[in-house]
Structure 1
Amino acid sequence: MERLRALVRILPRVAVAVGAGALLGLAYQPHDHPWLAIAAVPLLLAMLNGVSMKGGFLVGAGFGITYYAVLVPWLTVIGGDAAIALAILEGLFYGVFGALASQTLKHKLWILWVPSLWVATEYATGSVPFGGFPWGRLAWAFADSPLGRLASLVGIAGLSFVIALLGVLVYAVLRRRSALSLRAVSLVAGIAIVGLSGLVTLSTEGNGKTVTAAMIQGNVPGKGLEFLGRARTVTKNHMNATLDLEKQVEAGSQVKPDLVIWPENSTDIDPYKDFETKQDIEAAVQAVKVPILVGAVTEGPGPNERQTTGIVWDPATGPGQRYAKRHPVPFGEYIPFRDQLLPYIKRLEMIGRQTIPGVGPGLMPIKGVMYGDLICFELAYDNVVSDVAKGGAQILIVQTNNATYGDTGQPEQQFAITRMRAIETGRTVLIASTSGISGVINPDGKVEHKSGQFVPDVYVAKVPVRDQKTLATTLGGWPQWILTGLGILGAVLALLARRKPRTEDPGNPPTTTPDRETVPV
C-alpha cells in the first residue's frame, strides 16, 4: 500500500517532466526554439529534487520518452511501432539519468556533476545499442546561437555540457531554497558564459587556394519508400542534371566546376556490374570532363551483402577511390539478429541485403585537395567526423539521401547537425542530396545555399581550401571522455554519500525535511 501511495505522489512530477521533455523536443528543427533547451533542463531538475532513485527513474524516463517522441516523429514513415520503440529505448537512458541525478543533486558539487552526467547520458545514447543514435544532443539545436560558436573550441560534447550547465545555473537561481550566495554566483556565471560566447570569432579564410564544386540534386520520382524501386530513374535524373550543367558552362552562364558531387543513392545499382548504370555515369563524366563523386550501392563483399559508397569517377581513368559508409543505420540498412527477426517481422524484408560497414575514414585526395566524405546519418557520429578532420580534410562533403523522410522535419534536423559540424571543424561543408536538402555551409556555420525538397537543384560554389584546425578538432574526443568520467564520478560519490547521514542540502540552509518524494520543490 505504501508503494502505491509513493507512486501516486510521484505521478505529478512525472507529468511535469513529460511537459519538460516536450519543450526540449521543440528546441530543434523544424520548430527551432533553442532557448527551450535551457528552460527544459531546470524544469526536469526541479522534478528530480528530493525524490528517491526509483522516483528519479520514472521522472527521467517520462521526460526522455516524450523528448524523443517529439524529436523524431519522422520515424513514423517506417512505422508507428518503430517510432514508439525508439522513443522508449532512448527515453530509458534518461530514466537512468534521472535516477542518478536525483542523488547527485544532494552532493555539494552537484552544479558540476549534473551537466557532466548529462554528457555521459548523451555519450551512452550515441554509443549503444548497435552503434547508438546520437540525434538528441543538446548542441544540435544551437547552430544559429552565439553559444553554437563554442563548438569550435570544445566540440559537440563540450557544447552540450555548456548548455546543460546553463540549465543547471538557471535551476540554482530559481530554486526556492537556494542560498543567496549560490544564486548570485550562478547568475553571474550564466551571464558570463552567454556573454563570452558572443566574443568567439570564427574564421572563414582559406590557405589562398579555392575549389569550385557543383552539388547535383537530381530529385526522385516519389516520396516515402516507393522511390527505392525506381533506381534507374534516379540515376538518369542526376545524369541529366549534370548534362544540363555542362550546357550552361558551354554557354558561359555557369562556371566550370573542379568537382561534381552526386548524392548517396544516386545509383542503387552497382555501376561496376551493371552496364547501363556505368554508361549513364560515364556520359555525365565525359560531358563535364572533371571527376564526379558518385553515391553508389555496390554488391558484396559477401553474398547477399552490399555497401553504401562514394566513388571518385575520373574522366580519364574511370572509377578510382572509394569510401564505404562506416555507420549504416540499423533496421534501415541492415538488420541486427536478421535470421531471428525476419520470420516474425516481414516488413524488414524491404531492407534487402545487409549493408556491411566500411573500414577507414573517407579521406579522398582529388586534384590536390583533401576531401573528407561523410555519408548521411554518420555525420552525427563524432568518431567518423573526427577521423576525417584530424586526417587532414580541407573540405567536407556530405552525400545524403533523405527521400524517405522528405517533408517530415528529418532533413531540417540533419542540415542543422551539418551546420554544427562545419563550426566544430572549421570546414566548408558541401551537401548533395537526392531530393533535398542540398547546400553549402561555410566554416562559420552560415548557410550559403540551401535547396528546397523534392525539386531538382544544381548549385556551383567557389569555396576556400582550409588547413588550420580548430581547437575542437585538436582535442578530439577528450572533452567527451573527461566530462563523461566526471559525470560517472559524481554519480558514484553521490551514491556512496547515501550511506552517510545528511543534515543539510548543499548550498541551502539546514533542513530536517526527510529526503523523499514528498519533499516540496
Structure 2
Amino acid sequence: MTVTATSVDGSDQVNPLAPAPRRAWLARLLPALAAALLGVLLYVSFPPRTLWWLAVPAFAGFGRLLRGRGWKAGLGLGYLFGLGFLLPLLVWTGVEVGPGPWLALVVIEAAFVALVGAGVAAVSRLPGWPLWAAALWTAGEAARARVPFSGFPWGKIAFGQADGVFLPLAAVGGTPVLGFAVVLCGFGLYEVVRLGVELRRTGAVRRPAAAVALLALLAPLAGALAARPLVSDKAEDGTVTVAVIQGNVPRAGLDFNSQRRAVLDYHARETERLAAEIKAGKVDRPDFVLWPENSSDIDPFANADAREVIDAAAKAVGVPISVGGVVKRDGKLLNEQILWDPVQGPLQTYDKRQIQPFGEYLPLRSLIGSINSEWTSMVRQDFSRGTEPGVFDIGGTKVGLATCYEAAFDWAVRDTVTDGAQMISVPSNNATFDRSEMTYQQLAMSRVRAVEHSRTVTVPVTSGVSAIIMPDGTITQKTGMFVADSLVQEVPLRSSETPATKLGILPEIALVLIAAGGLGWAIAAGVRGRRAGDV
C-alpha cells in the first residue's frame, strides 16, 4: 500500500518518507533469509549426520542467490551464508567457556565466506562461471587455513564428505580438490536447472553454456568414479597389530585439567586390563599401544610417580606405548608424544607443531590482559611449537603422528607420510568439549586423511570417540563416548604415495590461480563496461 499526500492544488503526491512497499521489503529480506538457511543446510551435511549430499543443493542455492548480483550484495549474502553454516558447526567452541569465544570466532571466519560471496557475484556473469566460483571457494578455504593466528581450517567442505561419493578425489589432490569438486557440482546443478527453465521458456539455449553447465555437474562425479582405483586397503608392507586405549576422564569440561593424575591412572588401568585379556588369550598381543593426547599431563620426566605408572603399564602389556604428555624442557612447555618401551623407558618424542590459539597459546596476550586480566589465566603459559615431523619407528613400523588439532591442517599430516610413515595416528583430547559434535567432526577429518594418503589411521582419544580407520576411510572399530575401552586390530601397512601426497600444495595453488584469473577477468570486464557507458 502506497502512502500519498494531497498538495495545495488538489493532486496526489507520493510521500518520500513513507514506508517502502511491502514487495520491496520482502525482495530484500527473502534473499537474506535464504542465504542463512542455505548455510544451515550446508551445516546439516556435516558429521555426525551422513547427509553429505546436501552440500550440493546448498551450493546450488547459493549460486542462485549470487548470480547476476553486485559484489556488495554478494558480500552481505555471503556473510549470512557463512553465519548460517558456521554458527551451528562451531558451537562446541563455547561449550565450557561461554558464547563469547564461539561468537567471536564465527564472526571472523564468516568474513572469509563474505569475501568469497562478493567474488562469486563478480564472476557470475562470466562464461563458465561455475568454474571460477568454485575455485574462489577453495581460495577462501586456503586463506582461512592460514590466517589469522596460523589459520583455522575447520569447516572445509572436504571434511563433510567422509561418507560421500566424492571422497576418492581426496587421493587425487587432497582436501582442496575434494572440496572444489563438491562446490563445482553444486554450482553446476543450479546452472543446469537455470538453463532448463530457459529452454522451456524460450525453446533455445546457447550450446556452449549448456555444455559448461553439464560439465560442471558431471565432471566431479566422473572424476570421483575414475579415482576409485586409488582407494585401497590392501597391505603393501605387511600388517601390524595395534591397540588403541581410551581411558576416559572423571569429568568432562575444562575441569579435565585439574584431574591429571586420575586421567593418567585411568589410561594405565585400561592398559593393564587389556594386558590381562591378552594373558587370558581373549585378544591378540599388539605390537604397540597408542594412548591419546594429554593421557599424562603430569610430566613423567620430572615426576617419578608418573614415570612409575607409565612404566608399570608398559611392562604389564609388554610392548611399547605412545604416551601423550605435557612436558617442560629447557623452560619450554611442550605437548609431546613419548614412545615408552617396557624395558628401556622413553626412546623417542614428538612435539606438537600446530598448536591451538587461545587453547595452547594466547595471541595478543598483553592486549587481552589489558582488557581483562582474568582472561589470560585461561592459558597461563604458552606451549612451544615442535619443529620436526613426528614419525616413530616402532620395531620397524613407521607410525606418523598428527596430534589432535593438527589433523585439520593438510601439511601437518602429509609430511609424516613423505617422511616415511606407513600408518598414521591422531592422538586427541576432546574431553573439554563434552558430548558435542566436535569429536565426530574431527573423526571425519581422519577418515578423509586416510583416503588422501592411503594409510591406516588410528584415533586414540581420552573420552571418545576413539577409532581405527582403514586406508579406504572405513571405520572398522570405534568406542562410545565417556567410557573406558580398548581397540585391538591387525591393520595394513602401506608405503606407496597417492597423487595427493606427491603433489602436496600444488593443486591448491592451481585452484587459487584459477580463482585469481576469474576475478581479474570479472574486474576487467566491469571496468570496460563502465568506460563504454561513459562514452
Q: TM-score, normalised by structure 2?
A: 0.90
Give the deviation of 1:318 after TM superposition.
1.3
Indicate the residue corresponding to 1:152 in structure 2. 171
Amino acid at match of 1:257: P
Amino acid at match of 1:159: L
Q: 3-state SS of the aligned residue for 1:462?
A: strand
Task: Measure the CA separation in 1 of the matches of 2:62 and 2:386.
Answer: 40
Indicate the residue corresponding to 2:45 in structure 1. 27
Amino acid at match of 2:149: F
Indicate the residue corresponding to 1:516 in structure 2. none
**2:390 is equivalent to residue 372 of structure 1:** no
Indicate the residue corresponding to 1:390 in structure 2. 418
Task: Measure the CA separation in 1 of the matches of 2:216 and 2:386.
Answer: 45
Q: 3-state SS of the aligned residue for 1:354?
A: coil
Q: 1:68 aligns with which of 86, 91, 103?
A: 86
Structure 1: 5+ residue stretches without partners: 504-511, 513-521
Q: Superposed, which structure 2 residues align to 1:248-259 within 5 Å?
A: 248-259=277-288
Indicate the residue corresponding to 2:326 in structure 1. 297
Amino acid at match of 2:142: Y
Task: Measure the CA separation in 1 of the matches of 2:435 and 2:463.
Answer: 10
Q: 2:352 aligns with which of 295, 302, 325?
A: 325
Give the deviation of 1:437 after TM superposition.
1.1
Q: Superposed, which structure 2 residues align to 1:22-421 within 5 Å?
A: 22-77=40-95, 78-175=97-194, 176=197, 179=205, 181=207, 182-183=209-210, 185-187=212-214, 190-198=217-225, 200-201=228-229, 202-302=231-331, 305-345=332-372, 346-421=374-449
Task: Measure the CA separation in 2 of the matches of 1:23 and 1:8.
Answer: 22
Report which stretch shifted further, 211-220 or 175-184. 175-184
Task: Measure the CA separation in 1 of the matches of 2:28 and 2:513.
Answer: 30
CA contact (8 A) 2:327 2:336 kept: yes
C-alpha spacing 1:368/1:56, structure 2 compared with 1 (3 Å): same
Map Cα deviations across residues 330-375 of structure 1 (whole Å, 9 max, x no partner): 1111100112213434244133321111111111211111110010
Give the deviation of 1:76 after TM superposition.
1.8
Report which stretch shifted further, 308-317 or 116-125. 308-317
Give the deviation of 1:428 after TM superposition.
0.2
C-alpha spacing 1:85/1:209, structure 2 compared with 1 (3 Å): same
CA contact (8 A) 2:185 2:218 kept: no
Higher relative contact order (CA 8 A, sep 6+): 1
CA contact (8 A) 2:144 2:152 kept: yes
Q: 3-state SS of the aligned residue for 1:466?
A: coil
> Identity over the aligned pairs, expressed in percent?
37
CA contact (8 A) 2:187 2:216 kept: no
Amino acid at match of 1:329: Q
Report which stretch shifted further, 390-399 or 196-205. 196-205
CA contact (8 A) 2:130 2:216 kept: no
Q: 3-state SS of the aligned residue for 1:90?
A: helix
CA RMSD across the alignment? 2.1
Amino acid at match of 1:368: G
Map Cα deviations across residues 394-443 of structure 1 (whole Å, 9 max, x no partner): 01011100011131110011111110000101000011111111110000
CA contact (8 A) 1:173 1:184 kept: no
Count of aligned residue pairs for this structure pair: 501
C-alpha spacing 1:174/1:28, structure 2 compared with 1 (3 Å): same
Q: 3-state SS of the aligned residue for 1:396?
A: strand
Report which stretch shifted further, 89-98 or 315-324. 315-324
Q: TM-score, normalised by structure 1?
A: 0.92
Report which stretch shifted further, 197-206 or 398-407. 197-206
